[in-house]
Amino acid sequence: MKETNMIRKIVRLKQLVQRWRRRIPPGGSLAVYVGDEHEHRRFVIPTRFINLPVFASLLNKAEEAFGFQTTGRLVLPCDVVFFEKLLNALERNERRFGALDLDDFTEMFSESLTVD
């Protein structure tokens, strides 16, 4: 009985450690949370993206919406679908899209939704 109990504790501890490892972003990246105030979705992005104009705009919007916070999550006030498209564009061709600001991406994505 005692050995079975000990095995359960070890398995549970191992599961807990694995769960925490998934929460820690790999080196050279950071976690940001995107979405409305009721539900945030976690994204892990390369830290170099923070220097891009679009992220500077998103960070300014976050400061306006939430104030300057030194603790807690980094929450960006952005639609999840928009953010997924933004990341997809940057991951495909950072050199081409890296200089665009938030307005450029908004215009680009709204044009892709327009049906002729």
8 A C-beta contact, residue 29 and residue 44: yes
pLDDT attached to residue 19 = 60
Alpha helices by DSSP H, listed for 32-101, are 53-66, 80-92, 94-97
- Under the banding of pLDDT at 50, 70 and 90, the label for residue 8 is confident
| pTM of the model as a whole | 0.70
pLDDT attached to residue 41 = 92
pLDDT attached to residue 4 = 75
| Three-state SS at 25 | coil
Cα–Cα distance measured from residue 29 to residue 42, given in angstroms and rounded to the nearest whole number: 13
Compute CA 53 distance to the chain's CA centroid, rounded to the nearest angstrom. Answer: 16
Nearest CA among 58, 53, 102 for reference residue 77: 58
pLDDT attached to residue 27 = 75
Which tens digit of pLDDT belongs to each residue from 41-77? 999 999 999 999 999 999 888 888 777 766 678 889 8
116 has pLDDT over 50:
no
Strand 75-76 and strand 29-34: pairing? parallel
Nearest CA among 64, 65, 57 for reference residue 83: 57
Cα–Cα distance measured from residue 91 to residue 98, given in angstroms and rounded to the nearest whole number: 10
Cα–Cα distance measured from residue 112 to residue 99, given in angstroms and rounded to the nearest whole number: 19
